[in-house]
Amino acid sequence: MDTSTIQSLEDQFTTGLFTKRPIAIVRGQGAHLWDADGKEYIDCVGGQGAANLGHANPAVAKAIADQAMRLISCPEMFYNDRRADLEQKLCGLTGMGSVYLCNSGTEAVEAAIKFARLLTHRTGIVAAMRGFHGRTMGALSATWESRYREPFLPLVPDFNHIPYNDGAALRAAITDQTAAVILEVVQGEGGVRPGDPDFLRLAQQLCQERGALLIIDEIQTGFGRTGRLFAFQRYGLQPDLLCAAKSIAGGIPMGATLLQSRLGKLPPQVHGSTFGGNPLACAASLAAIDIMVSERLPERAEELGTWFLGQLRQIQSPLIREVRGLGLMVGIELKQKVTPYLQELMARGVLALPAGMTVMRFLPPLVISKEDLGAAAEAVQEVLCA
Question: Catalytic amino acids?
Answer: 132, 217, 246
On the 0-12 / 13-18 / 19+ scale of CB atoms within 10 A, 294 is: exposed
User: Which secondary-structure segment (H or E) carries 251?
Assistant: none
Contact 243, 109 (CB under 8 A): yes
In DSSP terms, which residues pair with 182 in a beta bridge? 215
Axis-axis angle for helices 81-94, 279-294 (nearest 10): 40
CB 192 within 8 A of CB 186: yes
Provide the Cα torsion 368, 371, 373, 379; round to 10°: -140
CA gyration radius for the chain? 21
Neighbours of 151 (CB within 10 A): 8
By CB atoms closer than 10 A (0-12, 13-18, 19+), residue 5 is exposed
Gap between the Cα atoms of 168 and 166, Å rounded: 6
